[in-house]
Amino acid sequence: MLSIDLSGRRALVAGVADAGGFGFAIAKALAEAGASVCVASWPPAMGIFETMLRRGKLDEARRMSDGSLLDFEKIYALDAAYDELDDVPEEIRSSKRYSGRGDFSIGGMARALVDDFGPQPLDILVHSLANGPEVAKDLLDTSRKGYLAAVSVSSYSLVGMVQRLGPLMRPRAAVLSLSYLGSERVVSGYGGGMSSAKAALESDTRFLAFQAGRRHGIRVNTISAGPYASRAASATNMIDRYIEHYERVSPIPERLTLEEVAHVSAFLCSPLASGITGATVHVDHGFHVMGIATD
């Protein structure tokens, strides 16, 4: 029987701070396929996440198909807005929300991985990071600061991570990120520069696939996922309306599940997808193909 086997591989899923989003679901699917999984969390949210894990609040979500609990090898602090600790403003470094987290930059996380697991610690990198501080504003009303912040964390951070982690990845490794249809179509209410950030993410996926493929022998793909009511998506204030419209007009008129995205993610990170790189794979029940639907 053909199956996804990630035994002996280590994955890092960046952007996990609760059990309700794509990042956690992908981490769980990778573990179900046999991978060892580390995660990276935004420092201000990391304490709550660790406390919930310690107190068993996430045990049900962590339950694997064999009855065991998903166990993370390591949880790293990561603020993907910063490539190195020297880039971090003093007010952030001295903030109580970052206290005790050490070097939470992309470079700091890369060095911590080497310290923990050796010179080539990774086989899989999943970028599940996005932040648009003005996402609820129309693009026309978005400030330069808000726009650049969205692009920095939501797209450039993938470049920064592949720069620093690509050389640390084993042969035939895979990189995966998460995009959204707002990159290529107008989605009213998806503002703050996030549409531009996702368009950049998809373009960067193609260039990184070529450059990182030639330099490091790794594949780079992105998934354009349909709408899901995660905590992050609620920032748009329109997610319920998105989902209702999506469910009504998609070729498969059903709500998207986290597992559907997670299973495709595991496939793309596996040897079964060794011929796929530079691709934007839509996991949205076919919604992206639609123009005018009829009942």
What pLDDT does 235 receive?
A: 60
Residue 232: per-residue pLDDT: 65
Concerning whether 198 is annotated as a catalytic residue, the answer is: yes
Per-residue pLDDT tens digits for 163-202: 999 999 999 999 999 999 999 999 988 999 999 999 999 9
Please name every residue paired with 176 in a beta bridge, in sequence order, or none if there are none. Answer: 126, 221
pLDDT band at residue 239, thresholds of 50, 70 and 90?
Answer: confident
User: What is the number of other CB atoms lying within 10 angstroms of the CB of residue 177?
Assistant: 29
| pLDDT attached to residue 233 | 58
Closest CA to 200 of 247, 158, 169, 146: 158
* Closest listed residue to residue 284, CA positions, set 156, 182, 138: 182
Looking at the domain 10-289, which fold is it? Rossmann fold (3.40.50)
Sequence-ordered list of residues with C-beta below 8 angstroms from that of 131, at least 6 positions apart, any chain = 81, 149, 150, 153, 154
Q: Identify the three-state secondary structure at position 59.
A: helix
Indicate if the pLDDT at residue 2 is higher than 80.
yes
Whether 274 is a known active-site residue: answer no
**Crossing angle of helices 157-165 and 194-216, rounded to 10°:** 20
pLDDT higher than 70, residue 11 = yes
- Residue 265 above 80 pLDDT? yes
**pLDDT level of residue 234 (50, 70, 90 thresholds):** low
Say which of 155, 195, 224, 265 is annotated catalytic.
155
Whole-structure pTM value: 0.95
What does the pLDDT read at residue 293? 75
Q: What is the mean pLDDT of residues 5-11?
A: 98
Residue 294 has pLDDT above 80, yes or no: no
DSSP code, position 183:
G
Q: Mean per-residue pLDDT for 22-51?
A: 97
Q: Is the pLDDT of residue 238 over 80?
A: no
Catalytic residue among 28, 157, 195, 198: 198
On whether the CB atoms of residues 69 and 59 are closer than 8 A, the answer is yes
Domain ranges of the chain: 10-289
Tokens of 162: 């592949």
